């Protein structure tokens, strides 16, 4: 499918407009929380039985996706890195805590894996993390990865805050079992140009992963958390009389 800047801009504006609750005879209502803006792309003509065609990567956007000062991150480390993480108020897990976690029931470990969006791990502890948590983090796509496919493995205290700040701009791009990709590209409160740049980055990245680039895009949608989806399509926008 053809994806140009003008179409993306109009679709983004429409998706944001869809987030407002409109009811005839009543004043328009805006939800009381800062909704995320999500990108959904349906993929065609890609064989996901071939592992080479699956995607599981983290990419850095131009602008922060996370509005909060502290991303939902857990640092698994020892010594100086652990100390620096604690000073920064980041949730942590040390070597003893990792062993203790491994002795917990399966449902507790699943809950732990779901609790955090990202995990930053000291390189020398990756072996134990893989041993104890891979079966829980892996299916969620949360297993820390080294550069260039991810940013979750560090080796010194200086890297900690770099990784921490970076994760405010990181999105996880996954396509494994189903030919569909969901990506959080920002918040409704963001400047629309910043949102647009983030969307462009994600769309371009996904196209570059496809064997036939944009020709593998079946359809694309933008939506806020609670709003209805806006199809990125000229005919759809025309039906709404969006110029």
pLDDT for 179: 97
Q: Could you say which of 3.30.413.10, 3.40.50.10540, 3.40.50.790, 3.40.50.150 is the CATH number of the domain covering 73-166?
A: 3.40.50.790
Helix (H, G, I), strand (E, B) or coil at 172: strand
Give the span between the Cα atoms of 95 and 6, in whole angstroms: 51
Per residue of the chain (243 residues), give pLDDT as tens: 888 999 999 999 999 999 887 776 667 778 888 899 999 999 999 999 999 999 999 999 999 997 666 789 999 999 999 999 999 999 999 999 999 999 999 999 999 999 999 999 999 999 999 999 999 999 998 999 888 888 999 999 999 999 999 999 999 999 999 999 999 999 999 999 999 999 999 999 999 999 999 999 999 999 999 999 999 999 999 998 876
CB 116 within 8 A of CB 74: yes
CATH topology assigned to domain 5-64+170-239: Ribulose 1,5 Bisphosphate Carboxylase/Oxygenase (3.30.190)
Name the β-bridge partners of 134: none
- List the one residue out of 97, 70, 89, 78 whose CA is nearest residue 154: 78
User: Containing H/E element for 183?
Assistant: strand 180-187
Q: Are strands 73-76 and 118-122 parallel, antiparallel or unpaired?
A: parallel
Domain residue spans of the chain: 5-64+170-239, 73-166
pLDDT for 118: 94
Write out the two tokens for 6: 């003008």
């Amino acid at each position: 499918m053809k994806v140009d800047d003008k179409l993306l801009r109009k679709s983004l504006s429409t998706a944001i407009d869809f987030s407002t609750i409109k009811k005839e005879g009543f004043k328009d209502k805006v939800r009381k929380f800062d909704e995320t803006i999500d990108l959904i792309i349906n993929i065609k003509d890609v064989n996901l039985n071939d592992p080479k065609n699956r995607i599981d990567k983290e990419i850095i956007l131009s602008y922060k996706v996370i509005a909060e000062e502290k991303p939902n991150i857990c640092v698994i480390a020892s010594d100086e890195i652990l100390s620096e993480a604690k000073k920064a108020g980041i949730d942590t897990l040390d070597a003893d805590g990792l062993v203790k976690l491994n002795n917990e029931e399966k449902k507790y470990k699943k809950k732990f894996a779901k609790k955090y969006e990202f995990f930053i791990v000291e390189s020398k502890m990756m072996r134990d993390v893989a041993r104890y948590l891979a079966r829980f983090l892996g299916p969620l796509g949360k297993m820390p990865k080294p550069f260039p496919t991810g940013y979750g493995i560090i080796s010194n205290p200086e890297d900690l805050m770099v990784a921490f700040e970076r994760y405010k701009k990181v999105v996880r791009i996954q396509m494994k079992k189903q030919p569909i990709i969901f990506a959080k590209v920002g918040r409704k409160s963001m400047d629309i140009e910043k949102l647009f740049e983030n969307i462009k980055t994600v769309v371009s990245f996904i196209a570059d992963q496809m064997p036939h680039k944009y020709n593998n895009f079946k359809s694309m949608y933008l939506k806020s958390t609670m709003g209805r989806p806006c199809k990125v399509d000229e005919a759809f926008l025309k039906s709404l009389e969006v110029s």
